[in-house]
Amino acid sequence: MTFDHKAVPLLAVEDLGVEFRTRSGTVRALDGIGFELRRGETLALVGESGSGKSVTAHAIMGILDAAAHVNSGRIVFGGLDLLTVAETEMAEIRGRELAIIFQNPRTALNPIRPVGKQIADILVRHGTVTAVCWRKSVSPTPSAAPSPTRSSFLAACASGS
């Protein structure tokens, strides 16, 4: 008997509710959100400004604002309930298995840090390459032309060669 991976959702959001604490009281941002996403599928969250698209994504990623909390539901990714995992485990999943592309590019990259270093942080953090491999593969000057030698060295580091 074979197991059909497409039959089991890769991501299942069930009855998700998120509330924000404000000076005026509690605001219910999400109430009863649910959907499933299987391997190979694409899902688009579409709605007006303020309809909860970003709050849904932030809840899935475990990066809600400090004033927010999930008050109901489940978020199951690959059989793992993301609402019950420790932050250390979630940090390993974030960026490697789950990612978010923020709407505002100013929140995606730090303008006072070189882009290469920000990319290196992610690759090194998730074990794609070592810090030594990264340093040997990047140019010391921002104006230097890309080098096939450096690129192939980085690819070799990433593959473990």
79 lies in the same domain as 117:
no
Check residues 145 and 15 and name the one with the higher pLDDT: 15
Edge-to-edge strand ranges of the sheet holding 25-37: 25-37, 11-22, 68-77, 80-81
Closest among 69, 126, 134 to 99, alpha carbons compared: 126
Asked whether residue 5 is domain-assigned, the answer is no
33 lies in the same domain as 82:
yes
Query: What pLDDT was estimated at residue 108?
Result: 67
- Structure tokens given for 130: 């070592």
Number of domains, the chain: 2
The whole-angstrom separation of Cα 43 and Cα 28 is: 24
96 lies in the same domain as 117:
no
86 lies in the same domain as 24:
yes
**Amino acid identity, position 97:** E
> Most confidently modeled of 70-74, 93-97, 141-145, 156-160?
70-74
Residue 136 pLDDT greater than 80, yes or no: no
31 lies in the same domain as 82:
yes
Query: What pLDDT was estimated at residue 158?
Result: 57
Lowest mean pLDDT among 5-9, 30-34, 60-64: 5-9
Query: What pLDDT was estimated at residue 60?
Result: 96
To the question of pTM greater than 0.85 for the whole model, the response is: no
N-terminal to C-terminal alpha carbon distance within the chain:
37
Q: By residue range, what is the domain housing residue 141?
A: 109-159
Using the 3D structure, point to which of 103, 124, 147 is the last residue of a domain. 103
Closest among 64, 70, 68 to 94, alpha carbons compared: 64
